Amino acid sequence: MNRKLKVSGFQLLCMIFLFINGTSPPIEIYALAKQDAWMSLLLGLIMGCLLFLVYIKLYTFFPDVPFTKYIQYILGKYVGKMLALIYILYFIYIGARVLRNFEELMIITLYNASSHISIGILMMIVVIYASHKGIEVFARGTEFIFLFIMLLIFIIIGLEIISGLIKINNLRPVLESGWKPVLKATPILIANPFGEIFTFTMILPYLNKQKNVVKVGITAYLFSGLILTLFSMLNASIMGVSEIVRTIYPLLTAVSYISIADFVQRMDTFIIVISVCNFFVKITIYFYCAVSGAADLFGIKESKQLVYPTSVIMLVCSIWMTSNYVALRNQASDVVPFLLQIPLQIIIPVCLILIVLLKRKLKYPAF
């Protein structure tokens, strides 16, 4: 993992798109907002976009170092190092949750007789290989994955239209219960998936043209959020909210309904392919951030030395964090956003930028 390597603007766009779409929005938002869940997604996207601007502003203050490094500049050596360690553990834990989601998807859809650990090991082997190749090689790989997935997305949307599956009436009535359910579901979405863009505070320093960070970052972020919102509307219009809340993977179920002349069928296989690619990118980014952050924190020159220990920790966490998929889903909507994601992705970064602005106003040394 050579810190001197750079990524282009398009590569950053590809990584952000694949990262945001790496996991689906929590199904619980449909139970809260019902057919208006797409409005919650748009509100979450807008709030998340403002939050991303906070991350970018922090980045412009310290453009050459990752978050776990400049947090020490802002808060001091001891408090900064303690928080940096907490963020490294956070990257490992959330990466392990994504890995567990991948394991559950594979077992439920394709490999019913396999174990979580065997599937997790296979994914971690690929992640380790990508990490050894470095961020630049990984970023180039995301370009191909992005183009491949976009082609499949256009094909799937086209087939859903041709099959006549889309029923707009399933999105009505709009705001049947007012704005309260929509607003109630929004905080969950700000934390997951939109707030997870915080992770890129560890990657932005590698952007080769730093002046383009706002244009590239916001464009990628908005595009990713709009695709999520589009598929949320499509899923709801195809299945209806009552069926979505009973499914495990709404997109997979919606696409499985595609049937054209009894010839074009079983398109859900392509959704699994897309999901595997997205999971790989998202897990690798979390893994890379944890390893590079730990190397900086502990002064390890060769961050590759931490690849194997970190992979073992992430794999073990993915197995032990919960006993079943239902508990994993409940944690994702009831526990993780409020105990981890909102404090670490929203509250602390906002406090940090206020501290930096205050120190700059007071003409504090080094600021």
Tell me the per-residue pLDDT of 152-179, one tens digit each, with 9 for 90 and over. Answer: 999 888 888 888 888 888 888 888 888 8
52-56, 97-101, 157-161, 275-279, range with the lowest pLDDT: 157-161
Residues 173, 277: Cα–Cα separation, whole Å: 36
pLDDT of residue 343 exceeding 70:
yes
Query: Which of the pair, 249 or 307, is modelled with greater confidence?
Result: 307
Residues 19, 13: Cα–Cα separation, whole Å: 10
How many alpha carbons lie under 13 Å from residue 127 in its C-beta half-sphere? 33
Where residue 168 falls (left for φ over 0; alpha for ψ -120 to 50; beta otherwise) is: alpha
Tell me the per-residue pLDDT of 120-159, one tens digit each, with 9 for 90 and over. Answer: 999 999 999 999 888 899 999 999 999 999 999 998 888 8
pLDDT confidence tier of residue 1, bands split at 50, 70 and 90: very low
What is the token pair recorded at 182? 């929509």
pLDDT of residue 29 exceeding 60:
yes
pTM of the model: 0.93
At 27 the three-state DSSP class reads coil
pLDDT confidence tier of residue 111, bands split at 50, 70 and 90: confident
Cβ atoms within 10 Å, residue 333: 19
pLDDT confidence tier of residue 5, bands split at 50, 70 and 90: low
> 90-103: buried (b, 16+ CB within 10 Å) or exposed (e) per residue?
bbbbbbbbbbbbbb
Residues 235, 248: Cα–Cα separation, whole Å: 13
